[in-house]
Structure 1
């Protein structure tokens, strides 16, 4: 329960472009990692591992988000990814998905390797894009959440399924909020 509440609050802070996304998120991801590794039967290895990755990237994102230029403006403002970054992101996402799938399929007792690996690969990409304040992070969160909902229902993690549904709604809202923030800072 505490993990769910902490993660929902974290996403709310992300929507607002607030650095508080990270300290609140760290609490939630550490608790969730414990659940995935030690309470799920069989464990959701990819989800547990990706939450450990979230912890590391949350520390990194927290560092980036507080950086300022000499004129006290953000060093890393919200922005769109370049076409080159998009291509690399797409390729990396597919490679991660296939790599995680193969690990789960052949090296674990996972009964959901396709879904678990897909959710994790998309979330890995989303978290990296969020740390870099790229608006496309919300698109990857949306895709990840759409698959995470039935995955968690299957595992009987009903509260987490509800959380991922809420995350889906919040990701849609976050995308439009960040899009509005970008528009309000551009000079015409």
Structure 2
């Protein structure tokens, strides 16, 4: 069983394996803090994504690398966005996506998928089945991260869909630790949605 899940690591350097484990740990911390609506979601996410950008560049997985590079940038934006206040009141609390944001989400998704397809065609990366899944998955995660940075509860729905797809995807790519990470991500994302929903309902009751 162990050989089945981890045999691919036989050709990896100790440094790369260690970095992947560290990235997984900080990635899990980031999702946990996101679930708790804690701003530490962003600094922990920055550590995880910066490591993954390096590893994925080294492993020539451009789509995944772009996702993590985007996460890194949006984590900086989200960190700033979440700290904005009017006096002692948080300026952008948990909220529901607006019509304009729905349209923007669609635009981000279409633009992202189109861009990744062009990049994959340029580098001739459509050689495996998961390259096609990558294009769709990148669009989902780009929208999810944008909505999280804006503190929209719907971000969790995108994370749940993307995480479920990522479990078998990363395992097939040979990254077992990362695959397990996405399994845990899925569970935490479900609880994250429920917890944010509870907080949102409580805040709406207080406003009445």
Partner of 1:106: 122
Q: Which runs of 5+ in 1 are unaligned?
A: none
User: Larger helix proportion, structure 1 or 2?
Assistant: 2
Partner of 1:169: 187
Structure 2-normalised TM-score?
A: 0.83
**Which of 63, 77, 94 is the equivalent residue of 2:80?**
63
**Which of 55, 78, 98 is the equivalent residue of 1:35?**
55
Give the distance between the partners of 2:188 and 2:110, measured in 1 at CA.
24
Give the distance between the partners of 1:59 and 1:95, measured in 2 at CA.
21
Q: Deviations over 1:70-90 (max 9, x none)?
A: 2x1101100000133223313
Cα contact 1:26–1:58 (8 A) shared by 2:
yes
Note the aligned Cα RMSD (angstroms). Answer: 1.4
Q: Which runs of 5+ in 2 are unaligned?
A: 1-20
DSSP-derived class of the 2:174 partner: coil
Give the distance between the partners of 2:96 and 2:181, measured in 1 at CA.
27
Shift of 1:114: 1.3
Structure 1-normalised TM-score?
A: 0.92
Q: Deviations over 1:125-157 (max 9, x none)?
A: 111100000011111111111221121011110
DSSP-derived class of the 1:183 partner: helix
Q: How many residue pairs were aligned?
A: 184
Cα contact 1:118–1:144 (8 A) shared by 2:
no
